[in-house]
Amino acid sequence: MATSSRRVLWKGAISFGLVHIPIALHSATSEQGIDFDWLDKRTMDPVGYKRINKKTGKEIDRENIVKGVQYEDGQYVIVSQDEIEAAYPKTTQTIEIEAFVDAGEIPFVYFERPYYISPINKGAKVYALLREVLLKTNKVGIAKVVIQTKQHLAVLVPSEKALVLNLLRWGDEIRSLDDLDLPGAGVSNAGISPKEMKMGEQLVEDMSDSFKPDEFTDSFREQILKLVDEKVKAGDTETVGPIEEVEEEAAGAKIYDLTELLQRSLKKGKSAAGGKAAAVEDDADEDDSDDDGDEAPARKGASKSASKASGKTASKPADTKTAAKASGKPAASKTAGKTAAKKTAAKPAPAKRRSA
């Protein structure tokens, strides 16, 4: 079993009738799969994905991508980002219970993802009251909740000392059984004899046990981790170096005051050529510091973005911000900065590509 997490996803409340219970939402699960990164076997450089026009086979920039919904074969309605954001449900940070139903009434195919709920702000007593009432009555609460920007149907279930919010699939997401070739319901309709039924019951009885989740493990994951450990001990490893790229200034993306750049150069006591390189380095540092305020992407997303940067040729440097985020190191060395300064002086830099 994975270790518990005290990290709070969001704080809000459980609400039904006039009852208001302040709570915090925590993740109840942890993904334990193996993350295989793509590497170029010739150079051990990361390999990533690109945005490719499926018709031309050419890579396209992010600013040329729009979102469309297909309503007929080959026919799309384009929906702008503003229209998408306007359709997002209002975030209330509230689990609105709309009804209480019998615990066994919800088919298990509806259950999707569980979250633990804990009381906050002196809400422990009313939290415990709701938990105990649900346990005694064998009821669960059907609710709606907005997590991030998506609205979910959910069920509030008592589990040991906790209340668990389990997200449910919407009714139109569950496929019907009508088109499946299934045997008839009931012993006689299925053609099962009393003798066969008795033998089946005996077999189930012989194999009956209590549920012990720790006894069941992912054998593939364990085998791969064992193989990795053995190769590390044997020294059978490869080094994937950090990706250091020269940043190309985005045309029109930022306007810097020339006097300010000259003053910086003079303070550093650089020559005219060295001053230009310092200015470019300062600009790159400012861009990188801006990135620190952005929302951190998922680990896999960062890896793929860094991989995308490595796939480009030396003559076309990749986006430094993407490489800096993936490697956690400065985007370019001083030598690279001087090179960039020379290129900037020679001709305007092309527009910088943004990673996903």
Query: What domains appear along the chain, each with residue ranges and CATH number?
Result: 10-32+88-170 (2.40.290.10), 258-346 (no CATH)
CA-wise closest residue to 142 among 152, 132, 131, 133 = 152
The answer to whether 250 touches 352, Cβ cutoff 8 Å, is: yes
Predicted pLDDT at 165? 95
Q: Is the pLDDT of residue 240 over 60?
A: yes
Predicted pLDDT at 278? 44
Q: Which residues make Cβ contacts (< 8 Å) with residue 71, sequence separation at least 6?
A: 77
If one compares 36 and 327, the residue with the highest pLDDT of the two is 36
Predicted pLDDT at 265? 60
Predicted pLDDT at 144? 92
What residue type is 268 in one-letter code? K
Dump pLDDT digits (tens) for 108-125. 999 999 999 999 988 899
Q: Which residues make Cβ contacts (< 8 Å) with residue 63, sequence separation at least 6?
A: 354
CA-wise closest residue to 279 among 253, 249, 321 = 249
Strands (E), the chain: 10-16, 19-27, 67-72, 75-79, 94-102, 111-119, 139-147, 150-159, 162-168
Give the pLDDT band of residue 135 (cuts 50, 70, 90): very high
Q: How many other C-beta atoms are found inside a 10 Å radius of the C-beta of residue 47?
A: 15
Question: What is the per-residue DSSP string for 159-179?
Answer: ETTEEEEEEE--GGGSPPSTT
Instruction: Among 76-85, 243-252, 275-284, name the one with the lowest average pLDDT.
Output: 275-284
Query: Pairing relation of β-strands 150-159 and 139-147?
Result: antiparallel
Mean pLDDT of the chain: 73
Give the pLDDT band of residue 226 (cuts 50, 70, 90): confident
309 vs 356: CA distance, rounded Å: 11
Q: How many other C-beta atoms are found inside a 10 Å radius of the C-beta of residue 323?
A: 27
Instruction: Please name every residue paired with 147 in a beta bridge, in sequence order, or none if there are none.
Output: 150
Dump pLDDT digits (tens) for 151-180. 999 999 999 999 999 999 998 988 888 888
Percentage of the chain with pLDDT > 90?
Answer: 23
Q: Is the pLDDT of residue 219 over 80?
A: yes
The pTM for the full model equals 0.54
309 vs 47: CA distance, rounded Å: 8
